[in-house]
Amino acid sequence: MNPNPSTATPPQSTTLTLHILLERTEVGKTIASILELPNCSVEEPTDEQAIESLKKMVASHLEKIEVIPLKIEIPQSQQTEKPWMKFAGVFKDDPDFDEIVEELRAERNLMDDE
């Protein structure tokens, strides 16, 4: 799965912290699942057995997968475009705009006083 096999590095051991959810069934068994890996769950008679089975399942699952970073370049126009800016100044030459602003301000002041 490595897109550039010539630069492949040997696997290194690392610690991965996952969160185990333990759920007790009505018949007294334990269902253990990994919060971060929703498809990984087991059902066993005890919590300890469920956790151990889940550890084995996750280890097996992680041996088959590879996580690779993906960088996506966002075009500059999408990063800086502000769609509301096309409306800036639309009332610049409107003779009624100042009057409307004053009425809105007076109404807000009335509401604040109440």
Q: How many contiguous H segments (helices) and E segments (strands) does the chain have?
A: 3, 3
Residue 4 in any domain: the answer is no
Are 43 and 82 members of one domain? no
At 17-65, the pLDDT tens digits run 999 999 999 999 999 999 998 889 999 999 999 999 999 999 888 888 8
Q: What is the mean pLDDT of residues 57-74?
A: 87
| 37 and 19 Cβ atoms separated by less than 8 Å | no
Distance CA 47, CA 25 (A): 11
Are 58 and 24 members of one domain? yes
What's the number of domains the chain is made of?
2
Distance CA 49, CA 36 (A): 20
Residue 42 in any domain: the answer is yes
Q: Residue 25 is part of which domain span? A: 15-63
Residue 9 in any domain: the answer is no
Residue 69 in any domain: the answer is no
